[in-house]
Each structure stands twice: as structure tokens, then as C-alpha cells.
Homo-oligomer: A and B are copies of this chain.
Amino acid sequence: MTPSVDALRSTLDGRWADVRSSVREQMARFRPVDPGLSVEEYRAKVLELVHELAETGQPHTGFSPEYGGKGDVGGVVTAFQALGYGDLSLLVKAGVQWGLFGGAVQVLGTERHHERYLRRIMDGELLGCFAMTETGHGSDVQHLRTSATYDPVAEEFVIDTPEPGARKDYIGNAARDGRMAVVFAQLVTRGESHGVHAFLVPIRDDGGAAMPGVEIGDCGHKAGLNGVDNGRLTFRSVRVPREALLNRFADVSPDGTYSSSIENEGRRFFTMLGTLVRGRISVAGGAGSAAQKALALAIRYGERRRQFADPGTGEETAILDYRAHQRKLLPALATTYALQFAQDDLVAEMHRLQAPGAEPDEKAQRDLESRAAGVKAIGTWHATHTIQTCREACGGAGYLSENLLPQLKADTDVFTTFEGDNTVLLQLLAKNLLSDYGRSVQKLSPLGLARFVGAQALDAAAERTGVNKLPRRLPGRGFRPRDRAEQRRLLADRAEHLLAGVARRLRPALKKGADQFAIFNAAQDHLLDAARAHVDLVVFDAFVAGIERAADPSVQALLETVCDLHALAMIERYRAWYLEHGRLTAAETRAVVAAVNDLCAELRPHARLLVDAFGIPEGWIACPLLEDPAAESGATATVPEMVG
């Protein structure tokens, strides 16, 4: 029995359902902006919307109650994702203002900063920037070149851009609207550098003129997000008071003495970065909304668009009834569901760790950062690929801006490389997995270790020879692609095996005098596969847990089928690995492919329900593409092109 759209939606909406519905209701006016606007018109329009958004009170939700916020960290990130159904320039500009700029002041600053700035930031009176990335350093932010040198006489920091490559680049809110910036720079006091710290630096006066010593450039027209004013900042001996240092984790006394609660410089830096995990989780959420919107457009079009007459009936066939079209859209839809549940888990865990009064939990925080990095990478790549596929699935209509897909593609394209380049994020995740793995291996008893090493050696031998080992399941038991435990075993086995293998390959790098780069580089692809396989497992587990939470049995039943399609599409994608490593026989991988085809056919009648359940406000998605067929079918019978 088919679930109602409301039952399915409330399962998807999850814990912050009320936030999602209030965004849907309140914010109907934030519908996508006409992409034909000039850059300047678009920026002006989005600035207006930012102020309107501030008036709704939504952005306050995430900030401390003592300054008028609600401390609802999970709620604000959920609201941010819901905004992603609308104009993505507004989404990103809001993210810069309240997530990155406001978030940095909140979590890296202390009372002196909160007292002075938080209210004005929440209300959108004080617009600001998050100035971390430099022209020469985007991924390797630990080696930023901007410097902040303490002058004990004036009790001021002097901010400098020592070289062209140290210019702050791609900074949102910088080209036009920002008045202040959180600037990340190498802190130097008493001739000693203490690594990267954050400083609050005024960049424009109230009239909007650049402050003395601050040079502001404009990144100009971009592929998308042209409602966001990205710019460049260069500092020429810009002086700010000692109190401009966001001093939650480290401070400098008037006489220039440096102090920090965290000894190790690297650890201190990554602790500061870690508090900003919200940005990555938000981007993953925005990517999810964009993919959901693209699928809603393509699937509704695929149901009404007819092409080529069925020789049997003479009626033209809806393109979503073609297997190739189902193959393009339905596994992507299933994975979009899976990622939504993974996103909800991230948000809930972040809320647990960061809501006011939460106990600091370093291990849990680091795990959250790892998972956020992985889900952001996989989720944004999925969105880019899915939106591209949806554009093509709508043909020429999908290329017209009036049908929204072009803007979705262009705006989200940067998601794969900002808030952390996806490849670098997967490496970060892999690094954390490897150190956990290292610890767990060390914990093994001598016997356990011997067994472990032995197993590794066997695996290695099996791979060299290509001899198939028995698939890892109860002997004699047949392969059942739609068995949930079977699916998990396959995904987990791949993740564990890849990680163990890369650990083995990297171990020599720890030897003294080893060419660490050469060893790492030779294993880089292996490393990235291991990280990706881990994320696949995390996402799968989140989906399964989400299904268990569903109250309505008909919702559960439908989601089980969607989960099968997601899981088997993953296993199908990596079936070469399962064959090479003797996990599946050729007959079994072919059964997986057949199961994916069957599941596409099985879900085809529910495709519309599945996209309607995202609850995208109709006003944000209405476009000519979705209007009733302009053409009525009535073609004379014809053998389709392709039957020879």
C-alpha cells in the first residue's frame, strides 16, 4: 500500500520538521531571482533579500540566547538547507554572513566580541566576511602568508599581505557589502610566530569606503552565484587593537606575551577550524536541496514528456518509462534519499556537541569533522552529477534559464571545491581513519595481531594471483542482493579491506628517511577509494537507521525499496572491485545489475511521490517545464527508431 505524501514527508523532515515547514511557509517570497539580471542588479537584489531574511528572525536561531539567539544550532542548519530550494546566491550570502562570519565571531571570539557585535551581526546591520583563503593557499590553510604582528608599544596588531599570493581571494561579502572581516593570519609576537589565528578587521567605513591600508578587489562575474559579491583583500600595515584577536583559544597580553589553552600549534589550529564544521555541513545540506529540486523537475518532466510511439498501442511513451531514462534518474533519486538521512545525522550530532551547555567531547568532535568532510565531498559530487544528468534528461528545455536547471547547475558547481576541496577533504577523512586504524591495530594482542597480519597477507596473495576466495557469507547460502545484511557486509568489507590495504602501503612512510611523498603519492588513489568507501557505509547506515525511525509501515516499506536501489547501485558501481577481490562471482554481479533494473521498474510508479515528499514549495519550482503538455499525443503507430 502506497504511503501518503504527508507521511513520507514527515519522515524526511525528521527532528526539525517545524523549522522546515516554517521556512516553507514564511519564505515563499524568496523565490529564485531572474538569472538575466546584471551582476550589479543581482547583488543589489540579494542584499535586499538578506535584510528581509534577517527580519524573519531565522538567522538568529543559531546564536547564543544571551544575545537574542535561540542556541538552536541544528535548527539553523536545517533552515539553511530548506532555503536551498530557493535562490542559491541568497543561501550562500546568508551562509557567509551568519554561518562563517557570525559563526567565527561566536565560536572563536569571547564576551568582548559577542557583546559588541553579535546582535548587529544577527540583525544584518553589520555585514562581514570570512577571510581565510588566499590566492596562493586554498587547501593548505595552515600555511597562509598573511601576517598579524603584535606591536606592544601601540598595543596593536599590524595586518600585512607580504606578497601577491597572500592576497585574500574569493571572499564573499568583500567586493561590495562587507564592513568587517574575520581575517586569518600568522600571529607573530616578540619575533615569534604562533601559527594562524583569527582577527576582526574593519575593511570599510560606514559610507562604504575602503579603510586606510585595505585594498579591495572584485572577483567579477562567476559561473554562478552572481548575487554574491566575492572579492579580494590586500592589507598594507593595517592596525587593529589587541582586542581584535578572536581570543577563545589563545591570547596576547598587552606586553606581548602569548598564551593558549592548547599547547600544540597544529592541534590549536585544527581545533579552531573544527569549530567551523558547521559550514561544511551546511554546504552538504544545500547540495542536497539542489539535487532534490533538480530531480523534482526532471522526474515531473519525464512523466509528462512523451516521445516515440509504442508500436503496440500507437501511443507515445512517457520518457520516464524508458529503462535508460529510469537508469539516469532513479538510482540518483535513491542516493539523494540516502544522503538526506546522512545529513540529518550530521546535523543532530553537531547539535549535540555544539548546542549551549554541551560537554566538550574532543573525540566525538573529531569524528563529526571527519564525517562532515566525507559527506560534504560525496554529497556535493553527487549533486553536481545529478543536476547535470537532470539537465540532459530535460533536453533543450533543460537548457533554458526559465526552467531553473541552468541556475541550479551553475550555482552549485563551486560546492565541490569550496568549504574544502573534495579531494583534500577525502584525504583528511582518510588520515583520521588511518590513525584510528593504527590505534586499533596496536590494541590487538600478539595473537590477534598475528591473525590480522596473516589475513592481510592472504588477501594480498589472493589479489596478486587473482584467485577468487569464497564470497564472505555463510557457506552454501545463496546470494540475495536485496538482503540488507548482505548489502551491509559487502559495503563494510570493501571499506575495511581498502583501509587495511592503504595502511599497509603507507606504513613504510613512517620509517626514518623514507620518501614520504613518493610513498603517499603512489597510494593516493587507493587512499581516496578507502575514504569514499567509508562514506558509502556511513550513508548506508544512516539510511537504514532512518527507515527504522519511520512510524508509518507503508513509508517503511517504500523506503526499504529505495534503500535497496541505493545500496545495489553502489555495489554495481564498484562491482569490478568485488570481482577482483573475490567478494562476488560474475553470476552474482550480474544479479546485482538485474536487481537494479528491477528496482527502477518497481519504483517508477512512485517516482512522483518520492520527489513530492521533499516538500519543495511549488512557487520555488514552478516553471514552463512543468506545465501541462503543450502537445497532445496522437502519433500514428511507428516502430521505435531502435527496434531493428
Contacts and interface: CB of A to CB of B under 8 A. Distances in A.
A586 B467 CA distance: 8
Interface string A508-545: 01100001110111101101100000000000000000
A630 to B, nearest CB: 4
B421 A395 contact: yes
Nearest to A166: B631
Interface stretch (A271-279, A363-371, A556-564, A575-583): A575-583
A425 to B, nearest CB: 10
B395 A138 contact: yes
Contacts of A632: 163, 165
A401 B579 contact: no
Contacts of A405: 223
Interface stretch (A56-64, A251-259, A426-434, A447-455): A426-434
Given A399-B222, A635-B140, A638-B142, A524 B579 contact: no
B312 A515 contact: yes
A521 B399 contact: no
Interface stretch (A105-113, A196-204, A315-323): A315-323
B36 A36 contact: no
Interface residues of A, number: 120
Nearest to A432: B644
A520 B167 contact: no
A418 B394 CA distance: 11
Contacts of A437: 644
Interface string A395-435: 11011111001100110011011100111100110110011
B413 A520 contact: no
B39 A466 contact: no
Max chain B Cβ within 10 angstroms of own Cβ: one of A311, A399, A422, A644: A644
A643 B431 CA distance: 7
A258 B322 CA distance: 38
Contacts of A422: 392
A436 to B, nearest CB: 9
A143 B321 CA distance: 20
Given A138-B395, A220-B400, A466-B587, A527 B165 contact: no
A520 B170 contact: no
The 3 closest A-B CB pairs, nearest first, are A165-B631, A136-B631, A466-B586
